[in-house]
Amino acid sequence: MNNVADDGLRRTALGRNNDHRDVAEDASFTLNLGEIARILWRNVWVIALCTVIGGAVATYNVLRITPTYVATAQILLGQENQADNALGSLFQQLERDNNEIYGEISIMTSGRFLSRVSEALSLEDLPEFNPALLPAPQEPSLIENATSAIKSMVKYVLSAEDSDPDPAPPQDTDATSMDDDSAAANLRLAASAERTVRGDQAVFVDTLARRLVVRQQGSSSVLDIRFTSPDPIVAAAVANTVADQYIAFQLEDKLASIKRLTDGLDERILDMRSRLEASERNVIAFRSQSLDGDSGGTGWMEQQLGELSRRLVNATAQRSELEAERGQISTLIEQQGFAAAAEVLDSDLIRRLQQERAELELRAAQLRDRFGSSGGRIEDIGQQVTAIDQAIEYEVLRILAEKENEVAVAAAREASVRQQFKDLKETYLEWEREQIALSELERERDANRLVYETFLTTYSQSTETVALQAADARVVNYAEPPRNPAAPRKKVSVALGLIAGLCAGLGLTFLRAFLDRSVDGLVKLRRLLKGIPIFATIPVARGFLGRVDPLKAIGQPRNAALTESVRTLRNMLIIGRKSSGMKIAVMSSLSNEGKTTTSLLLAHAAVQAGKSVVVVETDLRRSSIARVLNAPDRPNLDDLLNDQSTAPLRSILRKDELTGAYILPAQQGSGDPGSVLLSNRMSALINRLEAEFDIIVFDTPPMLSVSDALPILRKADEIVLAVRWKKSSADALEDCLRQLRVADITPTCAVMTMVGRSEPQNYAAGDYAVY
């Protein structure tokens, strides 16, 4: 049988499933320049329409808008004058600093200042500022009435929602009513303070403030005063008046400040004069009580303190020396006796007694050597030595007592000098405190005199320079009535309207492209197929008056693209394949995607190539091929499945004259189409068809609607997936491919059906097929 043909020429759907298994899935959305160009070309009329509408709306609005004129005057801030130089050193707040320019702008745009401008120009007589002078408005149109009614209804609903459902009952006492009225009056007065200041010009000032703009030129001190008005004369007049009134207002404010200054100086001068006189009297009175006359002055006191300090040091040293000598004698007496103490004392009597004692001891030694240790003379000598020792002891005690007296005298002398030093130091400190107090009084007097003289000088200068006062600003340029309106700028407005319409059209175009989930291009189809090749793009068949039957359009010069695309699909499928019994299944994810017409076109092209072709409709639920070809529906697939004869199928099947292929339609009404297609009878019928025909084209049911197509797809040698341009859903196609992967089936190729004639690389919608 042909089912065991050469494996090199035969590639079943099951075998091909591994061809694209390793293709990386890329679900990212890519958009290249070519795709962008195609999107723009498809929606060129939408873009053009939005652009025209934008330009038309802009033109309509420009023609309806009343032209306005802008006049500009310029003033320069920071002018100095003699009064500023005279008063600025003492009162810095009177100087005009460039950093206060924003504050000056606020003054020029304030309601109080603009009320002066309104009064100067009598703006109440101009209808532009006084609504009472405007003509009576026309009756509103029906649309305006409806709009107003809707607004009123919305406001009523909102106010009803915000209102308190259970308001507190009012108190009816007279005292509470009077308090509430008084509080309400005070609130109204505080809330209308600005209106009160503006006076009768309040209504006109609001309009004036809305149209007035004061701006600084860069970081300079030049201010631009711009006013917008429908009348160029009014625009220039208001700008110039604002400049003049600002200079006048500034000069008046400066003169008022100087008046307040001179009045304040007059009061301060009188006060400072009293202070100066009082400080001078305090200095004189303190000097009369000062110790300066009795003390001899600072130099004498410092000299006396130095002398007493030296005397105190000497007395302290002398006392310490005497105490040391006394202590030494007492220590020697206690530790070594009077003899040792006598050795260190400087006394002639002690030296003489010591000499006599030495002589007696020498004589006693001589006598002991001659007569022995006994004898009356030796005893006399011992008594004399004892007497001498007592005399030495008495002399030492006398000297010690003398030293005690000297220490007492030195201590008394030191205490006297110390007391004198202390008394003189206290006297000096008291005198220093008095001198400090006197210095404070003198400084206060000098400060009062300086301030008094400064106030006198400033007062004199201020009174002399009042006549020299000038404003700190001057007009650089007065405004001229403009010749051309500043708004609307017709060309710019229309251009902006066109640009806005173009942008809206582009936005709408790309929004539609982004939200469109249909398969509308080769790029999107390749991304969804994930490696499955696209063999052909079948364009829609067109006639002179619109679409025509593609089967009848084959071969016409007008539909040459259709003919070539079908031939390309035929060649890609059958060249290099087995010569007979080739099974081709044409499938789609959903119905109405051009599957049936693609099957017939492929069969027609194969017949043109000299192949014997049979088209087998396997949709047992919705048979349509007989209706498309306007042919009888017998014999059908059910008839052949139940036919047990062995007659050639060509003698049983009907040959379609238009395509040249044999047609085997399906019979609707089968209870279980899947079991029929899976049956042995169906396999036997396919074997018979393989034996008698070169190519068998199966028109299968839609994949996502039912699963009846799976048995035929498994038996097919080649599978063609039909995708309808701008009608097939990307989600549906992904679901279909997912089901095929689960069933381990991979289509051979894909074709895009019903391609637009104006875009050969894309696809136009058509309605020439059932599926």
DSSP secondary structure of 293-326: HHH-HHHHHHHHHHHHHHHHHHHHHHHHHHHHHH
Positive or negative, the Cα torsion across 313, 314, 315, 319?
A: positive
Which of 387, 721, 698, 340 has the alpha carbon at shortest distance from 529? Answer: 721
Instruction: Decide if pLDDT at 525 tops 50.
Output: yes
C-alpha to C-alpha distance for 377 and 368, rounded to whole angstroms: 10
Sequence letter at residue 398: R
What is the three-class DSSP state of 473?
strand
Instruction: Decide if pLDDT at 4 tops 50.
Output: no
Model pLDDT, residue 767:
38
Instruction: Decide if pLDDT at 84 tops 60.
Output: no
Q: Are residues 688 and 717 in contact, defined by beta-carbon separation less than 8 angstroms? A: no
The residue with greater pLDDT, 668 or 56, is: 56
pLDDT band with cut points at 50, 70 and 90 for residue 58: confident
Per residue in 349-408, pLDDT (tens digit) is: 777 887 887 887 787 787 777 776 666 677 777 788 788 878 888 878 888 888 888 888
The residue with greater pLDDT, 151 or 95, is: 151
Which of 769, 614, 619, 754 has the alpha carbon at shortest distance from 699? Answer: 619
Q: Please tell me the least confidently modeled range out of 115-119, 299-303, 502-506.
A: 299-303
Model pLDDT, residue 726:
85
pLDDT band with cut points at 50, 70 and 90 for residue 174: low
Q: Please tell me the least confidently modeled range out of 55-59, 62-66, 293-297, 461-465.
A: 293-297
The residue with greater pLDDT, 428 or 419, is: 419
- What are the CA-CA distances from residue 379 to residues 357, 365, 366, 374, 387 (Å)? 14, 12, 13, 8, 12
| Phi, psi dihedral angles at 378 (to 5 degrees) | -65, -35
C-alpha to C-alpha distance for 751 and 514, rounded to whole angstroms: 23
C-alpha to C-alpha distance for 706 and 359, rounded to whole angstroms: 164
User: Any residues with CB less than 8 A from the CB of 525 and at least 6 apart, and which?
Assistant: 519, 534, 723, 750, 752
Residue 638: HSE in the Cβ half-sphere, 13 Å Cα cutoff: 15
pLDDT band with cut points at 50, 70 and 90 for residue 268: confident
Q: DSSP letters along 343-397, please?
A: HHS--HHHHHHHHHHHHHHHHHHHHHHHH-S--HHHHHHHHHHHHHHHHHHHHHH
Model pLDDT, residue 199:
60
| Mean pLDDT of the 526-530 span | 88
Which of 766, 699, 752, 756 has the alpha carbon at shortest distance from 723? Answer: 752
Q: In this structure, how many other beta carbons lie within 10 angstroms of the beta carbon of residue 460?
A: 12
| Mean pLDDT of the 483-497 span | 86
Residue recorded with tokens 């950093």: 99
DSSP 705: T
Model pLDDT, residue 542:
77
Instruction: Decide if pLDDT at 549 tops 60.
Output: yes
Degrees to nearest 5, angle at CA 587 with 567 and 531 = 75
pLDDT band with cut points at 50, 70 and 90 for residue 468: low
Per residue in 186-221, pLDDT (tens digit) is: 676 666 655 665 566 677 788 888 889 999 888 888
| Phi, psi dihedral angles at 612 (to 5 degrees) | -85, 125
| Backbone dihedral region for residue 754 (phi beyond 0: left; psi -120 to 50: alpha; all else: beta) | left
Positive or negative, the Cα torsion across 600, 601, 606, 609?
A: positive
Instruction: Decide if pLDDT at 93 tops 60.
Output: no
The residue with greater pLDDT, 706 or 482, is: 482
Instruction: Decide if pLDDT at 156 tops 50.
Output: yes
List strand residue ranges (DSSP E) for 217-310, in order. Answer: 222-229
Model pLDDT, residue 761:
44
Rounded to the nearest angstrom, the gap between the alpha carbon of residue 123 and the centroid of all alpha carbons in its chain is 45
Sequence letter at residue 270: L
What is the three-class DSSP state of 476?
strand
User: Any residues with CB less than 8 A from the CB of 369 and at least 6 apart, and which?
Assistant: none
Model pLDDT, residue 380:
78
Instruction: Decide if pLDDT at 256 tops 50.
Output: yes
Model pLDDT, residue 562:
86
Strands of the sheet with 473-477, listed across from one edge: 212-216, 222-229, 69-77, 473-477
Instruction: Decide if pLDDT at 176 tops 80.
Output: no
Share of the chain above pLDDT 70, in %: 80
Length of the chain: 771
Sequence letter at residue 759: E
Kindly report the pTM of this predicted structure. Answer: 0.48
Q: Which long-range CB contacts under 8 A does 682-688 form with residues at least 24 apart?
A: 682/641, 682/711, 683/715, 685/637, 685/640, 685/641, 686/583, 686/715, 687/1, 687/3, 688/649
DSSP 139: P
C-alpha to C-alpha distance for 561 and 576, rounded to whole angstroms: 24
- What does the block give as tokens for 456? 């006198």
According to DSSP, the β-strands at 695-699 and 582-587 are parallel
Model pLDDT, residue 754:
87
Model pLDDT, residue 172:
52
C-alpha to C-alpha distance for 70 and 486, rounded to whole angstroms: 6
Average pLDDT along the chain: 78
Degrees to nearest 5, angle at CA 480 with 477 and 485 = 130
Model pLDDT, residue 604:
92
Q: What is the largest CA-CA distance in the chain?
A: 201
Cis peptide before 635 (omega within 30 of 0): yes
The residue with greater pLDDT, 256 or 591, is: 591
pLDDT band with cut points at 50, 70 and 90 for residue 606: very high
Residue 374: HSE in the Cβ half-sphere, 13 Å Cα cutoff: 0
- What does the block give as tokens for 130? 């006084």
Write out the H or E segment, with its range, that includes residue 562. helix 560-574
CA-only gyration radius of the chain, Å: 65
| Mean pLDDT of the 698-704 span | 91
C-alpha to C-alpha distance for 160 and 166, rounded to whole angstroms: 12
| Mean pLDDT of the 468-482 span | 83
| Mean pLDDT of the 651-667 span | 87
pLDDT band with cut points at 50, 70 and 90 for residue 23: very low
User: Any residues with CB less than 8 A from the CB of 162 and at least 6 apart, and which?
Assistant: none
C-alpha to C-alpha distance for 310 and 3, rounded to whole angstroms: 144
Rounded to the nearest angstrom, the gap between the alpha carbon of residue 28 and the centroid of all alpha carbons in its chain is 31
Highest average pLDDT, of 464-468, 582-586, 656-660, comes from: 582-586
